[in-house]
Structure 1
């Protein structure tokens, strides 16, 4: 517009027109369009139909509004509370039912922990310190898995992680998981060892289980979004509560199994 206003009346439009670096089509997804504009370093682009005729101009305001909607929807689905509508724009019962669908499913999944604990009841009764640090183990591993999951989902959304470097991402997170597992295993060993009534073997059991659960949680939290993206499913559908619940159940199983192997012959 500035070029048109500052040039002489006899100036041809062809002399002042600026060719767009990106041309979008009506059927392009918003996230894809935003990525293309971000990579090109521009904030607007023409939108054409199937025949190549101009139908609209995508401007920064359009992008910001749609990105806000997408971000809200992603946060809602990632937290397992649904998505697609505004908070006050959603009827209360619909909001509750949407949440309870997730919560009841996770409740049933989490209840598997009771089956595992019942199976290993004799070991836990003899070594109560195992039960004392059960939540420490599952909570820490769940946090580690959520960190990896969030970073991978963010990388997929921005285009930094793509089909060309997915294996590199997985390998990088695997190395990070091993390093974190060593650090957290050492910290958990020291913490359990300081507890009155704890034994050396009990500390080792919690330490080994911590390392194994952390590695499993990080790899699962990394691989699942990558796999969902590979099959065209939005990785955000892999909600954080689901990862946390799966980590809890697997952490209980790993700790009880390790404790049974190391402590079964000890009073």
Structure 2
């Protein structure tokens, strides 16, 4: 009996796998490669050249390669799919979960998707057509139809026997869904409850009748919130008549959370749609440039504001030294509050009472930070060359007011935007920073004008 190779690190393992491919050693390659976790298989497959990948297609069976294809990002899937023979590709697609095939078909030309659907297994093709019919980013578009339903009249022993036969074809068997003769969802049973029950007990006697479900038209973000809130591994998707048509599993929700977080980060930094490295320079520029142009025109207000106080700056040139400090502190303070509010809104932590409490807390926080920063910079400004107590007072009071107002601005603006049913992440960091720069400098020059006669 051949002893299986046991390498301590993936680099050495990869070396030998590549050596097997070079030597056309299909037997050893299959033995070692298929022992790996699917995630490791994907990582090693990504390192392969086109020549090596073509050998893998010959050495692996469609069900085995389906595990790898499932873990590759969309752009990589397109490349790999173009390298597959038609028969192999169709066999592999029939092995993939319906929701994964739907994601892939949703991002390739409709003509290609239609051609493949005609060639695929009819039952599988009809399922995918159903999923493709739902609007993008809804529960229906990300659900899978591979789940197991039970009758309330079955016994625990009968269900266990059926799971042995049907379990491998389901996306998950941790939750089993109980339906009546009209296919209406009437209960749910966990695998733990099933295997710890007596063999002769009826499913209707041990199922839970309170089922948390979502509509097929519910937004995917709402689905992820429900799964997180109730700590579920999957949630059933039902029609208006409460008939179960699919389930959304936690692994799909993780993808949704990653997608939503990426979108929020893009909006927060005013680079929405440009975080994907597969996007070219020209496309990334088109997505980022409009924001920069908008901020450019808003920023010109800052230049105009400074220009209107040109005479005062000429008379007391030392005031110009602290312009960057005031502007930076305004932007930094506002961005801190913005990040707190946007994150809280995304997690749905803020109800009406919490919003009032948030405003009170941020106002108090702004006052404390304003006092500390104002006193500190006031002392510094007093003792620098050409400085005095009046100048220190101007800088200190200006910074105090700037920090307080910027804190409130960074808190209130995303709340208002959210109230208008707009994604609060749109109140991006650059936007808040630019607005607070203008506010901070206006406060600075106004206070300086009022106290200029005492300098």
Please give the TM-score of this superposition, normalised by the length of structure 2: 0.55
Determine the structure 1 residue equivalent to 2:113.
Answer: none
CA deviation map 1:53-111 (0-9, x unaligned): 1121121101100100000010001100123x751232321211221111111111111
What's the counterpart of residue 260 of structure 2?
A: 70
Ranges in structure 1 where 5+ consecutive residues have no aligned partner: none
Q: CA deviation at 1:151?
A: 0.5
SS class of match (1:51)? coil
- 2:302 counterpart (95, 110, 113): 113
Partner of 2:385, secondary structure, is coil
With 40-49 and 217-226 compared, the bigger mean Cα shift is at: 40-49
In structure 2, what is the equivalent of residue 221 of structure 1?
A: 410
State the Cα distance separating 1:241 from its structure 2 match. 0.1
Superposition deviation, residue 46 in structure 1? 1.2
Rg larger in structure: 2
Alignment of 1:201-220 (within 5 A): 201-220=390-409
Asked if the contact 2:227–2:250 (Cα under 8 Å) also holds between the matched residues in 1, the reply is no
Deviations 1:111-150 (A, max 9, x none): 1122121211122122222111111111112111111111
Please say if 1:132 is aligned against 2:299.
Answer: no
Deviation at 1:219, TM superposition (A): 0.8
Change in Cα spacing, 1:26 to 1:191, as seen in structure 2 (3 Å) is farther
Residues 1-267 of structure 1 correspond to what in structure 2 (within 5 A)? 1=173, 2-3=191-192, 4=194, 10-19=200-209, 22-83=212-273, 87-264=276-453, 266=455
Aligned equivalents of 1:13, 1:191: Cα separation in 2: 76
* In structure 2, distance between residues paired with 1:192 and 1:32: 52
Distance 1:79 1:13 in 2: 52
| Separation in 2, partners of 1:214, 1:206 | 12
TM-score normalised according to structure 1 size: 0.91
Q: Which has the higher contact order (CA 8 A, sep 6+)?
A: 1
Between 1:195-204 and 1:8-17, the stretch displaced more is: 8-17
* SS of match in other structure, 1:165: helix
Q: Distance in 2 between matches of 1:37 and 1:61?
A: 11
Report if the CA contact (8 A) 2:266-2:275 is conserved. no
CA contact (8 A) 1:181 1:211 kept: yes
Residue 17 (structure 2) aligns with:
none
What is the alpha-carbon distance in structure 2 between the residues aligned to residue 148 and residue 134 of structure 1? 22
The separation in 2 between residues aligned to 1:224 and 1:135, in whole angstroms, is 23
Conserved? CA contact 1:77–1:239, under 8 Å: yes
* Displacement after TM superposition at 1:22 (Å): 2.1
Give the Cα separation in 1 of the matches to 2:413 and 2:374.
24
Deviation at 1:8, TM superposition (A): 6.5
Deviation for aligned residue 1:6: 6.5
Alignment correspondent of 2:66: none
Paired with 2:275 and 2:445, the residues of 1 have a C-alpha distance of 43
* Structure 2 unaligned regions, length at least 5: 1-172, 174-190
Distance 1:11 1:72, change over 3 A: same
Q: CA deviation at 1:16?
A: 4.3
Preserved contact between residue 174 and residue 218 of structure 1 (Cα < 8 Å) = yes
